[in-house]
A = this chain, B = another copy of it.
Amino acid sequence: MIKKDLLLTPGPTTVPAKILLSMAEPLFHHRTPQYQKLFSEVCEGLKFVFRTKHDVLTLTSSGTGAMESAMVNLLSAGDQVIVVDAGKFGERFGDIGKAFGIQCDIIKIPYGKAVDPQVVGDKLKSGNYKAVFTTLCETSTGVVHDIQGLAKVVCNSSAVLICDAISGLGADRLEMDEWGVDVVVSGSQKGLMLPPGLAFIALNDKAWKLTETSELPKFYYNLAQYKKALKKGDTPWTPATTLVVGLNEALKTMHAEGYDEVIDRHARLAESTRAAMTAIGLELFAERPSNAVTSIKVPTGIDGVKLVKVIRDELGITLAGGQGDMKGQIFRFGHLGYCSEYDLVSGVAAVEQVLDRLGYKFKLGDGLTAFQKVIRSRQKLSV
């Protein structure tokens, strides 16, 4: 039996072979005109995906580092902020804040639910808040928050809105400038179709203004240094050059496809996955589902950990299970970045196969049929 590995997790995601091979080219030095040209192309490409005219800074780091950089560059110890915590990654902003002596007022949202922007708006009026931290797509639950709505309520205050778009960028629509999102953070191993190792942060003028009063200590993540180096087409510390080479390829691909087209493709994949799962009687977990990841409740009587493990170890297809408290309670399809309908058909087929073996009652093929119908109605072909 041929077992082909297929990655359907919400990051890391599959990297196109062309990009993998571009990163296998011989190394060159980063303090050269050759690198500066490459890096300036990358910076322009990032602005396109971040939907901003502001600089997008590239950090050699995982996404968590970019989240930390937002905290330590905008705030001082003792500052009061609001953190929207609707899952593992919202929770992380709270943990970072705690480590740096920030007074984080947590708006705790039950797993699977989205935040109501009005709740944040009301909370903002109750204190002297400098910032609101939220996620675009909460990867751990598959929920996409209403960032446009949040930006509306935050922009009327003196606070800045920081959005962790690590898994959402390039999958769920996020219009940084148009919506007035002050800070956007992301990472390489999601919608950008790259390996992990790079992280990104963009700040608008309101956010840069706030950095001027920040007193938290910082060095590696001192964004003023990145902004200064960018003027010379550079980074302050040695960048992960091979990943930057791959990033340029990825950004060119996205630019050629078009932003609306990229988002619509993700919407179509998410919709078809949801249709497949509900057609076999499964329940979706996220009340406001993301285009990046689909979370499905494990049906009663089925071992959710085993489901994911058998699909991975015996069929070669890696889905994500639940994290933390959600372990065994949900499983998740990642369908972001370099993911096609035909990757997802395999994933849906595998879920059907293993659920059937585990004794879950449904009609084999119903998920795939529902999947096909959505694709039929949503995909543009010449015939």
Residues of A within 8 A of B (CB): 5, 7, 9, 11-15, 17, 20-21, 23-30, 32, 60-65, 68, 77, 95-96, 99-101, 187, 189, 195-197, 216-222, 236-243, 312, 318, 320
Residues of B within 8 A of A5 (CB): 26, 28
**Pairwise interchain contact A68-B219, C-beta atoms closer than 8 A:** yes
With A242-B197, A312-B32 already in contact, the answer to whether A216 and B219 are too (CB < 8 A) is: no
Other A-B pairs beyond A27-B189, A195-B241, 6, CB < 8 Å: A7-B28, A12-B27, A27-B195, A60-B61, A68-B219, A196-B238
> In the complex, which residue of chain B has the Cβ closest to the Cβ of A11?
B238
> In the complex, which residue of chain B has the Cβ closest to the Cβ of A69?
B220
With A65-B220, A238-B187, A240-B195 already in contact, the answer to whether A15 and B32 are too (CB < 8 A) is: no
How many subunits of this chain does the assembly comprise?
2
> In the complex, which residue of chain B has the Cβ closest to the Cβ of A187?
B238
Q: CA–CA, A237 to B89, complex, Å?
A: 12
With A28-B5, A242-B23 already in contact, the answer to whether A237 and B65 are too (CB < 8 A) is: yes
With A100-B219, A241-B196, A312-B32 already in contact, the answer to whether A15 and B26 are too (CB < 8 A) is: yes
Contact of A240 among B95, B197, B221 (CB under 8 A): B197
Please list the 7 inter-chain residue pairs (A to B) with the smallest Cβ-Cβ separation, ordered nearest first. A197-B240, A195-B242, A24-B24, A20-B24, A62-B237, A64-B237, A99-B219
**Pairwise interchain contact B197-A60, C-beta atoms closer than 8 A:** yes
| A19 vs chain B, min Cβ distance (A) | 9
Most chain B CB within a 10 A radius of its CB, from A100, A195, A221: A195
**Pairwise interchain contact B30-A12, C-beta atoms closer than 8 A:** yes
Residues of B within 8 A of A23 (CB): 20, 23-24, 242
Q: CA–CA, A60 to B59, complex, Å?
A: 10
Residues of B within 8 A of A242 (CB): 23, 195, 197
26 contacts between A and B (CB under 8 A): A7-B27, A7-B28, A11-B238, A12-B28, A15-B26, A15-B27, A17-B24, A24-B24, A27-B189, A60-B62, A60-B65, A60-B197, A61-B61, A61-B65, A62-B237, A63-B237, A63-B238, A64-B236, A68-B220, A99-B218, A99-B222, A100-B217, A195-B242, A196-B239, A196-B241, A197-B243
